[in-house]
Structures are given as C-alpha cells and as structure tokens.
C-alpha cells in the first residue's frame, strides 16, 4: 500500500514538473490551458461555430436561404455529408496543428464534436463500417499518422462500429489546398482504388475526413466505394469550408 502511494506521489510530481516546463497551451492562440485534452482555451471555445441548424440535407453546407450552392454545382456521389464546425478560426488553427505539427489531442475533440451532431444517433445505429480518407503511404510515413484515421478510429470505438480500410491511395498527388475546383478533380483521378479482397458490397459506410472544402476528395473515395457495391456512404468531417 505504501509502495503504491509512493509511486502515485512520484507520478504526480513528474506531471507537475512537466506542466511547469512544458505547460499545455491552446492550439489556436497559445494561451496557457489546464490540460492538453482541452486543446482550446475558454476564449477560443467561445468562437467555435458548430453546424447544428440551417444546413443542406444532402451535403451539410450551412445555408442562408433554401438553396444549396454546393449541390447545385457539384455531382456528389455520397448520400449525405455532415460537419461539426465551420472551417474558420479557431478550428482552422486547431486542424493545422493536428495535421502538420503532431498534436494528436484534437482527434478526441473532433470525434466528440461529431458525436454531438444533431443526427449522430442515425449514424451510430445504421451503418456497418467506418473508414477514413486514406493518405498515400509516402505521405503517411513522412507525417507519422493519418489525422482522419485517428478521428475515425475513435468514432468506431465509441459507436461500436468496425473500422476498416477498404480503399487505398495509389497516387501521391499534390496537396489540394492550392488548387481550384477543376484542378482538384483532375488531381485525384484514379488516385483511389479498392484494395484487393476488400468487400463492401451492400454495406453502409461512414467516411471520415478532417475538412470538407469542395468535397472533391471525399467524393472520389465515395465513388470507389459505390462502384464496389456500397449501398450508402455518409461523409463526416471535423470542419466544413464555406
């Protein structure tokens, strides 16, 4: 018993020392916060823009009136898309740190936000499989992880839905961030393919990504899944660009 108390004492001491020299900070504004798990300070949390009302039934885009500019201009293959937040500060900075600077705590933050979507129960109870937009093996090796995969795996555990990777990214395409809409489509042609022996026929699949910008990437992955026989594809993302 004394040994356990001693170990606990040293553990708490080490945690205190770690916080003293490496205090956790808000991943949007760098203000000090109490715990790494919080990821954002209280001020930045006040600036979050969750998408909970007035969104397109199909692609989930926030709408001012009753028409969706995204759906009118795009031929979306997926059946439905939803996002937790509008892609603006502080979510923009949070995703950047998550994606490029190896801060992994946002995976839990974003998965929890997705689980709080108005239609979360529909996704949790009516789908057979969760997957993530895949990274090319070279990019994943360079980064060390796939941020979308981390979110997807946490959702899979919370919702008790199997996680799998039926789609592979075969082409190491340039980043989509600097391309226009037409270039994005051309950039991803034949980039994704179904893996050998992957069976998605008749399955309802949740596809997870970090940001829905034009929808080109998730649409191409959805196309591969649908052509392989998936009966339904729902896209869930941490954020939605507008």
Give me the CATH number covering residue 145.
3.40.50
Distance of CA 20 to the CA centre of its chain: 32
Containing structural domain, residue 33? 1-47
Domain check: are 148 and 35 in the same one? Answer: no
Bridge partners of 169, per DSSP, are: 192
What's the confidence (pLDDT) of residue 187? 58
Q: Distance (Å, rounded) from C-alpha 156 to C-alpha 153?
A: 5
If asked whether residues 14 and 104 sit together in one domain, one would say: no
What whole-number distance in Å separates Cα of residue 168 and Cα of residue 207?
A: 13
Q: What pLDDT is stored for residue 21 in this prediction?
A: 44
SS3 breakdown of the chain: % helix, strand, coil, rounded to 5? 40, 15, 40
Q: Are residues 17 and 85 in the same domain?
A: no
Q: What is the pLDDT of residues 170-185, one digit of tens each?
A: 876 655 555 555 555 5
Model confidence, pTM? 0.87
Q: Which residues contact 33 (CB under 8 A, 6 or more apart)?
A: 24, 25, 26, 39, 40, 41
Greater confidence, 75 or 121? 121
Asked if residue 189 has pLDDT above 90, the reply is no
> 122 with 184, same domain?
yes
Domain co-membership, 207 together with 103: yes
Kindly state the tokens that stand for 13. Answer: 């001491």
53-94 pLDDT tens trace? 999 999 999 987 778 888 888 889 999 999 999 999 999 999
Number of domains in the chain: 2
Q: How far apart are CA 205 and CA 81, in angstroms?
A: 12
């Amino acid at each position: 018993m004394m040994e356990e108390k001693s170990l606990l004492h040293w553990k708490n001491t080490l945690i205190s020392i770690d916080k003293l020299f490496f205090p956790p900070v808000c991943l949007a504004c760098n203000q000090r916060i109490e715990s790494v798990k919080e990821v954002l300070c209280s001020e930045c949390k006040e600036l979050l823009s969750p998408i909970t009302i007035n969104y397109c039934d199909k692609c989930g885009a926030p709408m001012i009136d009753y028409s969706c500019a995204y759906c009118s201009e795009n031929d979306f293959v997926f059946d439905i898309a939803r996002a937790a937040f509008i892609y603006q500060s502080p979510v923009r900075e949070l995703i950047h740190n998550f994606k490029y600077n190896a801060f992994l705590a946002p995976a839990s933050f974003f998965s929890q936000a997705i689980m709080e979507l108005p239609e979360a129960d529909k996704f949790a109870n009516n789908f057979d499989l969760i997957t993530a937009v895949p990274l090319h093996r070279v990019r994943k090796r360079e980064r060390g992880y796939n941020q979308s995969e981390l979110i997807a795996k946490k959702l899979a555990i919370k919702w008790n839905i199997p996680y799998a990777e039926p789609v592979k990214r075969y082409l190491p395409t340039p980043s989509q961030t600097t391309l226009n809409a037409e270039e994005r489509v051309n950039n991803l042609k034949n980039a994704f393919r179904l893996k050998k022996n992957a069976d998605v026929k008749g399955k309802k699949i949740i596809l997870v990504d970090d940001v829905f910008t034009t929808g080109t990437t998730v649409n191409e992955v959805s196309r591969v899944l649908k052509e392989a026989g998936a009966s339904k594809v729902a896209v869930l993302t941490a954020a939605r660009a507008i």
